[in-house]
Structure 1
Amino acid sequence: MKNTKHLLLAFALLIASTFTAFAQLQTPAASPAAFVSQTVGFTKISIDYSSPAVKGRKIFGEIEKYGVTWRAGANAQTIIDFSTPVSIGGKNIRAGRYSIFMTPAASGEWTVHINSKAASVFSYMKEGVIDEEAVAADDAVSFKVAPTAGNTERLQYHISAENNKVAKVTMAWEKVVISFMVDTQVDQRIEGFKSAF
């Protein structure tokens, strides 16, 4: 009888500790953090973002509405970082951290915003959506990009070095691929170095 009580007590403790362990177990993030970095010319380009999955949903046009500015990722805003000044869309921008926003379009070109404030995306929220005018007011540069077709389950960013002077930055998710070029101004830096001597 005494052994049975000890056995039952041990069993109860085992079950209690198992429930405690399961209660402490965290499930993986639905949109895990992701990071990509590439050196192009003299410039290190890094993108810090969250990577949601399609999971059988219609993303563009339903979850991310056409004509409504989107954080170009999930959770917090997507951040792009340049270690040196670069040129995007024909405009020179300083080294530093920027937010990426995109405004999807049902047909035609999307708007890509390289936003000078790497602040919380929630500072741009108005009535539950991102206020495009407020984003545009803080843009270092914005430009139009024609999307191409793809098929990507989980949102991804890629940076390719192309000719090691100009980088190609690509966002791919669901059936959409958006790419833009970043001129790292290698030739200008070399000329500036030469003229200094």
Structure 2
Amino acid sequence: MKNTKSLLLAFALIFASTFAAMAQLQTPAASPAAFVSQNVGFTKISVSYSSPGVKGRKIFGELHKYGETWRAGANAQTIIEFSTGVSVGGKNLPAGKYSIFITPAASGDWTIHLNKKAESVYAYTKDGKIDEAAVAADDAVAVKASPKMGENTERLSYTISAGDNKVATVTMAWEKVAVSFQVDTQVDQKLEQFKGQF
């Protein structure tokens, strides 16, 4: 009898621990968090985003309609961070975090917005869509970018190229489209400032 009770207790403990472990196990995220970082010149450039999959869908023109501003990722805002001041589209931006939004176009250039608030994307949602005018009002800079067609990229991804170690190219690729913008890390200007201190 004692052995039976001990055996039942052991089974109960095994069942309880197995159930607890299964309860803690989470299914993989549909759009997993991703991060890319690159040092260019004196500047660390980082992009934090969620990476949705194509999953057989038509992305640009259907899931993300042309002419409608999109959060450039999934789940939450996509954030780019510069450790020092940089220049994008000929405009100086101080060090800090910026939200990335993209407005795709059926033909011609797309618009890439670097938004100075870096707040939740839902702050710009109106009637279930992103309010482009509200985003534009908070843009630190908006640059035009020509989309390039290429190989299929199943999961949305960002890359940062160091280039000549002065000007970086930040690229978003998803489905068969890649769109890029350049970040001038102002190496020469920073060297001049450094020299001027001595």
Give the TM-score normalised by structure 2. 0.91
Q: Could you tell me the percent identity over the aligned residues? A: 75
SS of match in other structure, 1:92: strand
Aligned to 1:27: 27
Aligned to 1:50: 50
User: 2:86–2:94: 8 Å Cα contact kept in structure 1?
Assistant: yes
Give the aligned residue type for 1:110: W
Give the aligned residue type for 1:173: W
Give the aligned residue type for 1:164: N
Unaligned runs of 5+ in 1: none
Describe the superposition over 1:70-118 as per-residue Cα deviations: whole angstroms up to 9, x where unpaired.
Answer: 0000011000000111000011111100000000111111100000011
Superposition pairs for residues 80-159 of structure 1, below 5 Å?
Answer: 80-150=80-150, 151-159=152-160
C-alpha distance in 1, partners of 2:20/2:54? 33
C-alpha distance in 2, partners of 1:12/1:94? 60
SS of match in other structure, 1:187: helix
Aligned to 2:67: 67
Give the aligned residue type for 1:72: A
Give the TM-score normalised by structure 1. 0.91
Aligned to 2:189: 188
C-alpha distance in 2, partners of 1:16/1:39? 48
Residue 3 to residue 71, structure 1, CA distance change in 2 (3 Å)? same
Shift of 1:61: 1.1
Give the aligned residue type for 2:162: A
Describe the superposition over 1:159-185 as per-residue Cα deviations: whole angstroms up to 9, x where unpaired.
Answer: 011000000101000011011110000
C-alpha distance in 1, partners of 2:133/2:140? 14
Aligned to 1:169: 170
C-alpha distance in 2, partners of 1:195/1:3? 85
Shift of 1:130: 0.5
Residue 5 to residue 143, structure 1, CA distance change in 2 (3 Å)? same
C-alpha distance in 2, partners of 1:191/1:124? 40
Give the aligned residue type for 1:125: T
CA-based RMSD: 1.9
C-alpha distance in 2, partners of 1:11/1:39? 55
C-alpha distance in 1, partners of 2:139/2:34? 24
SS of match in other structure, 1:141: strand
Shift of 1:29: 0.7
Kindly tell me the number of residue pairs found equivalent between the two proteins.
Answer: 197
Deviates more, 1:11-20 or 1:83-92: 11-20
User: 2:143–2:181: 8 Å Cα contact kept in structure 1?
Assistant: no
